[in-house]
Amino acid sequence: MTVRYQISGTSASAIAASVEQAVGRGELAPGAPLPPVRELAARLGVSPGTVAAAYRTLRQRGIVETAGRRGTRIRARPPVAAVRAARRLPPPSGATDLSSGEPDPRLLPDLAPHLRRLARHRVPAAGYADAGPVPELVALARDRLAADGVPVAGAAVTVTGGALDGIERLLATHLHPGDRVAVEDPGWANLLDLVAALGLVPVGVPVDADGPLPAALDRALAGGARAVIVTARAHNPTGAAVTADRAADLRAVLAAHPATLLIEDDHAAELSRQPLHPLAGATGAWAFVRSVSKPYGPDLRVAVLAGDEATVARVEGRMRVGTGWVSMLLQRLVVSLWQDGQVAATVAAAGDSYRRRRDGLRQALAARGVVAHGRSGINVWVPVVDETRTVAALRDAGYAVAPGALFRLASPPGIRITVSPLDEADLPALADAVAAAVTARGRPARHAV
């Protein structure tokens, strides 16, 4: 298959710019193949080394990926804003969208009373000199993290614009393009995209229901990975949650690699009904990131980040020369939410509802002979033989699910189903459709998860 868009340029930088511009204009869509190096070199009248250098630049920027025999292709979500390309393939009209990964808006706390309370108190707008982490938020975060076993005594705590913002600052201030990062495989699609956009090299660590496999993590670190990112619970996409025994094993691996930057992502936070078993403090440089987006609303771009003093100082320093701070109005809104007992009850009820939907779907699938995973969080991961056929079959049946290719490096194929839009009464019909789609082409091999 050849690319219709005509790539131009006689230097590596010009060729790379031509591809990037085409992605931005929507002329090269996600997944589109680029010509083989020698073919494009002959067409442009340049050396193969020039084209190879252009492709290398595009890989380092996270715009393309090398897909083995499938050649070089535009990444599913390249870090270039496309003018005409939609971020996500819209579901068919009338279909149930189970692909988003977003929380159920019906279960989010009502922000209106808290916004009115802030307005009544006439909170002054922050100026450049006095803006930063709100002390009340930091104090509450310390208490909540300490209650979950995160070693915040003697640690530093700051505030970032969401979990991914904090992770980006951590990686950018510790690593350089070309450095290796151990990531879960399968893992969070946004994180894999970020790693690629930063020019870092992901090293996949397989995951089972209890979290990353210790032996695989040890191999990744022994092979030169300078950082590792672990999801504490509600792993996206598999729903894995790190258990006490797995945490002990992982801490032992990390102790043998004390120079590793350890990043823990607890994005589900209070929404998760699984206990937290943190790894924080297992290495000299560590950070524990907890977002408020899943429990309280995706538009609340706030996360608290705890870590050793040097690591947190780097994050704050990077923020100071960039965005400056997270809106203090948003921070005070989170303080108000955290101090409200009714909100806490609402979040707990939401966690219970997700658990019933998630467990109910897994049980319904199991009754139909389909293996599925999802110990915590809002997603269920179903191993499949052929993602494309399975996703297409479910679209024909009226369900849009996420293909596993968005989340995988080398792990076997699967699909991710977000349970947020479902009611418990919806589960049997969905399980019937999934069973029909999965078994149509044979059963998948057993996965690590």
- Give the model confidence (pLDDT) of 295-305 as tens digits: 999 999 999 99
Residue 272: inside a domain:
yes
Number of domains in the chain: 3
User: Tokens 């194929």, residue?
Assistant: 413
Residue 3: inside a domain:
no
Q: Are residues 52 and 200 in the same domain?
A: no
Q: How confident is the model at residue 1 (pLDDT cuts 50, 70, 90)?
A: very low
Q: Are residues 292 and 156 in the same domain?
A: yes
Mean pLDDT within 116-142: 83
Q: How confident is the model at residue 285 (pLDDT cuts 50, 70, 90)?
A: very high
Instruction: Give yes or no for residue 206 having a pLDDT over 80.
Output: yes
Q: Are residues 207 and 315 in the same domain?
A: yes
Q: Are residues 280 and 420 in the same domain?
A: no
* Predicted local confidence at residue 95, as pLDDT: 86
What is the Cα–Cα distance from 253 to 251, expressed in whole angstroms?
5
* Predicted local confidence at residue 443, as pLDDT: 52
Residue 5: inside a domain:
no
Per cent of the chain over pLDDT 70 is 92
Q: Rounded to two decimals, what is the model's pTM?
A: 0.85
Of the listed ranges 118-132, 164-178, 199-213, the least confidently predicted one is 118-132
| Share of the chain residues as helix, strand and coil, in percent rounded to the nearest 5 | 40, 15, 40
Check if the beta carbon of residue 168 is closer than 8 Å to that of residue 200: no
Q: How confident is the model at residue 85 (pLDDT cuts 50, 70, 90)?
A: very low
Residue 85: inside a domain:
no
Q: Are residues 203 and 278 in the same domain?
A: yes
User: Tokens 């771009």, residue?
Assistant: 301
Q: Are residues 335 and 412 in the same domain?
A: no
Domain final residue pick, 309, 324, 339? 339
Q: Are residues 399 and 302 in the same domain?
A: no
Instruction: Give yes or no for residue 87 having a pLDDT over 50.
Output: no
What is the Cα–Cα distance from 390 to 440, expressed in whole angstroms?
8
Domain final residue pick, 298, 323, 339? 339
Q: Are residues 251 and 300 in the same domain?
A: yes
Per cent of the chain over pLDDT 90 is 73
Q: Are residues 193 and 250 in the same domain?
A: yes
Residue 398: inside a domain:
yes
| Paired tokens of 41 | 């070199």
Instruction: Give yes or no for residue 93 having a pLDDT over 90.
Output: no
Domain final residue pick, 305, 339, 373? 339
Q: Are residues 248 and 327 in the same domain?
A: yes
* Predicted local confidence at residue 86, as pLDDT: 40
Mean pLDDT within 247-258: 98
* Predicted local confidence at residue 441, as pLDDT: 57
Mean pLDDT within 119-134: 75
CATH number, position 418? 3.90.1150.10
Check if the beta carbon of residue 348 is closer than 8 Å to that of residue 208: no
* Predicted local confidence at residue 351, as pLDDT: 96
Residue 113: inside a domain:
no
CATH number, position 31? 1.10.10.10
Q: Are residues 66 and 100 in the same domain?
A: no
Dihedral angle of Cα 334, 337, 343, 346, to the nearest 10 degrees = -10
Residue range of the domain that includes 27: 12-74
Q: Are residues 286 and 364 in the same domain?
A: no
Burial of 85 (0-12, 13-18, 19+ CB in 10 A): middle
